[in-house]
């Protein structure tokens, strides 16, 4: 009897849901409800029992093991894992629920007790409960002085939020909760217990515990395809008016409403059209535009894709291992696999661009623009060709597209004054049509897309003309030749270090061998520059000594002693008076040799 009532209620509710709103998951709900109706059958269904405990009894329940046994016996399910998964789907969609726990999960092999949800709360009825209904339910729970009906922590927080949100309607919410509580109080205790558990399972499904997945959420794209929010009654009224007019005009030939037309207007996205002929005209125009487009076969597309990726396979580090024998560029090994970082330090140490990077520029103009070094190299080439303003304009437009909203009018004005205006500093090469489009965009509403047409035009010019000349230029060929040379990193590092700091002994030996490069000047350079071997300091000392104007003095024994002390203390960095002359130092050396 109960199963027949449930079946009738289900058929009524689902038919009403079909007439009201077609849910995108309705096919899934139909299959689930068909199995649930078989489980609820009085003879072949699951045996519902009453479990007695120490001081109470639980009515209308069944265990998870009973569900597993029934599924294996009545459905082609030979694996218990598949049966558990199917029961988990039933629980997650709210068709069955656990009596003790309030998490929408299902463990078929355990000894927990479950209960069927009433057909009134099935998801096929397209329930979309509002916050006011949830507030009424929580208020009704607070009125019942029972331990198992106390609010959880998250429910208390939700009630406080709803009270702030519905502060103007809270008296009405409280009155509704009080009225429902009085009605529930008049029911039988067992019936009230079952209804309370079913209602709580319904809200556990639609307002789940934090951390649980909400299975009632539906993708908005599925909703738009199903047409739930796009149905309108105005179209059916138009059909009825057209039918009534046709009946009045053709009284002899009475016409009944066409069901196909009614279904046509109920399709999603058709409410803007009042007649079928309008839609057919639009569909014909769309089909004509499709015929004008170039359509490629799937085989041709697959062939072009294979050719494209096969040509670029040498640049893929996942397929071709860097630095291996199969690497066509014979570059440095992959730093994520090997223990060396030469792959990252190559450009810094050598100062050259790698061959892999240069060859990637040849693949497409987009690859050249993505690389910052490639943009700089192309800018140098375009400046030599007296067309560097094209790349600068294109880069400024890209910057305009990504800037903040408050900077848009500033950048639009700067770009127009520098590249577009008749008195611009660097005018770009655009035709009259593009210029008219830019003027129209700036008159209507200057935005970040005002120069898109001009940027596309300049991009095509650079791609078809400048890019091809860049690949054939001497600048690019020289970069390729330099990158083809192989260097050992040890020699490069030592060569770089030798350029920075020459040895001290070499400098001192040079000063002793060359009498025109006195030690006094060297000591003066050390004191002035603070560096024992910098070339710039020695040249400064020489220039400074040339600028010094003094007469050679006669030397005595004290002067000779001072000169010897200065020669012996040259390595200790004693500062020499800058007024000493080169001629006096040479005379002192000759005199010391004679003695």
Q: What is the CA radius of gyration of the chain?
A: 45
Which of 491, 501, 419 minimizes the C-alpha distance to 455? 419
pLDDT at residue 101, rounded to an integer: 76
What own/partner pairs with CB < 8 Å and gap ≥ 24 does 491-495 have? 492/349, 492/350, 493/349
- Lowest-pLDDT choice from 225-239, 336-350, 469-483: 225-239
Both tokens of 264, joined, read 């046509």
Dihedral Cα 316, 320, 324, 330, nearest 10 deg? -40
Q: How far apart are the C-alpha atoms of 502 and 507, rounded to whole Å?
A: 8
Task: Give the confidence band of 233 by pLDDT, cuts at 50, 70, 90.
Answer: very low
Phi-psi region of 352 (alpha: psi -120 to 50; beta: other; left: phi over 0): beta
Q: How far is CA 79 from the centre of its chain?
A: 41
pLDDT at residue 531, rounded to an integer: 38
Q: Is 51 helix (H, G, I), strand (E, B) or coil?
A: strand
Task: Give the confidence band of 589 by pLDDT, cuts at 50, 70, 90.
Answer: low
DSSP per-residue string spanning 57-122: EEEEEEEHHHHHHHHHHHSS---HHHHHHHHHHHHHTTSEEESS--SS---TTS--EEEEPPGGG-
The DSSP element (H or E) to which 50 belongs, if any, is: strand 49-52
Q: Specify the pTM.
A: 0.40
pLDDT at residue 226, rounded to an integer: 55
DSSP per-residue string spanning 271-296: TT-SSHHHHHHHHHHHHHHHHHS---
pLDDT in tens, 38-95: 999 888 888 888 888 777 788 888 888 888 888 888 887 777 888 888 888 888 888 9
Which structural domains are found in the chain, ordered by start? 2-125 (1.10.10.10), 234-292 (no CATH), 296-346 (no CATH), 364-500 (1.10.167.10), 514-594 (no CATH)
Q: Which strands, in side-by-side order, build the sheet including 49-52?
A: 49-52, 57-63, 113-116, 96-98
pLDDT at residue 407, rounded to an integer: 93
Which of 199, 190, 150 minimizes the C-alpha distance to 56? 190
Both tokens of 405, joined, read 């909203």
Which residue is associated with the tokens 């690019």?
A: 476
Q: Which comes out higher in pLDDT, residue 371 or 223?
A: 371
Phi-psi region of 577 (alpha: psi -120 to 50; beta: other; left: phi over 0): beta
Residue 400 pLDDT more than 80? yes
Residue 569 pLDDT more than 70? no
pLDDT at residue 254, rounded to an integer: 41
pLDDT in tens, 348-389: 666 678 888 888 899 899 999 999 999 999 999 999 999 999
Q: How far apart are the C-alpha atoms of 40 and 2, rounded to whole Å?
A: 8
pLDDT at residue 434, rounded to an integer: 93
Task: Give the confidence band of 587 by pLDDT, cuts at 50, 70, 90.
Answer: low
């Amino acid at each position: 009897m109960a199963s027949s009532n449930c079946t009738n209620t289900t058929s009524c509710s689902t038919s009403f849901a079909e007439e009201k709103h077609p849910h995108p998951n309705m096919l899934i709900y139909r299959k689930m409800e068909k199995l649930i109706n078989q489980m609820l059958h009085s003879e072949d269904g699951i045996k519902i029992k009453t479990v007695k405990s120490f001081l109470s009894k639980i009515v209308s329940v069944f265990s998870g093991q009973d569900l597993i046994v029934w599924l294996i016996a009545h459905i082609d399910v030979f694996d218990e894992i598949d049966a558990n998964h199917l029961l988990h789907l039933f629980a997650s969609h709210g068709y069955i629920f656990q009596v003790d726990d309030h998490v929408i999960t299902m463990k078929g092999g355990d000894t927990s007790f479950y209960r069927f949800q009433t057909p009134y709360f099935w998801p096929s009825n397209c329930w979309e409960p509002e916050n006011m209904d949830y507030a009424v339910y929580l208020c009704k729970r607070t009125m019942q002085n029972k331990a198992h009906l106390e609010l959880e922590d998250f429910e208390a927080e939700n009630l406080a939020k709803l009270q702030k949100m519905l502060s103007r309607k809270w008296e009405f919410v409280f009155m509704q909760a009080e009225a429902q509580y009085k009605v529930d109080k008049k029911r039988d205790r067992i019936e009230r217990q079952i209804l309370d558990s079913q209602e709580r399972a319904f809200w556990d499904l639609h307002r789940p515990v934090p951390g649980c997945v909400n299975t009632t959420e539906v993708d908005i794209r599925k909703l738009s395809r199903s047409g739930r929010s796009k149905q309108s009654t105005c179209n059916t009224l138009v059909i009825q008016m057209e039918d009534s007019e046709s009946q009045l005009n053709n009284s002899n030939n009475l016409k009944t409403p066409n069901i196909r037309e009614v279904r046509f207007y109920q399709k999603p996205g058709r409410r803007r059209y009042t007649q079928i002929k309008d839609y057919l005209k639009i569909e014909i125009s769309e089909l004509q535009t499709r015929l004008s487009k170039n359509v490629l076969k799937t085989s041709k597309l697959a062939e072009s894709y294979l050719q494209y990726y096969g040509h670029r396979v040498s640049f893929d580090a996942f397929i071709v291992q860097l630095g291996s024998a199969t690497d066509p560029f014979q570059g440095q090994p992959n730093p994520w696999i090997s223990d060396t970082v030469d792959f990252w330090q190559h450009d810094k140490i050598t100062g050259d661009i790698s061959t892999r990077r240069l060859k990637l520029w040849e693949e497409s103009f987009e690859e050249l623009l993505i690389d910052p070094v490639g943009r700089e190299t192309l800018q140098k080439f375009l400046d030599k060709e007296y067309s560097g303003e094209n790349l600068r304009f294109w880069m400024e437009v890209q910057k305009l597209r990504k800037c903040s909203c408050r900077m848009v009018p500033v950048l639009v004005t700067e770009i127009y004054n520098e590249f577009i205006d008749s008195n611009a500093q660097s005018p770009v090469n655009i035709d009259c049509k593009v210029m008219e489009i830019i003027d129209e965009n700036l008159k209507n509403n200057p935005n970040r897309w005002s120069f898109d047409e001009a940027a596309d035009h300049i991009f095509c010019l650079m791609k078809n003309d400048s890019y091809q000349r860049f690949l054939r230029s001497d600048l690019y060929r020289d970069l390729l030749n330099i990158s083809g040379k192989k260097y050992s990193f040890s020699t490069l590092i030592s060569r770089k270090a030798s350029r920075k700091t020459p040895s001290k002994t070499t400098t001192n030996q040079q000063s002793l061998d060359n009498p025109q490069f006195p030690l006094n000047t060297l000591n003066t350079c050390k004191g002035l520059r603070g560096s024992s071997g910098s070339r710039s300091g020695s040249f400064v000392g020489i220039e400074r000594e040339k600028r010094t104007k003094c007469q050679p003095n006669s030397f005595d024994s004290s002067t000779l002693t001072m000169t010897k002390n200065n020669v012996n203390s040259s390595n200790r960095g004693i500062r020499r008076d800058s007024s000493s002359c080169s001629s006096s130092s040479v005379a002192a050396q000759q005199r010391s040799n004679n003695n």
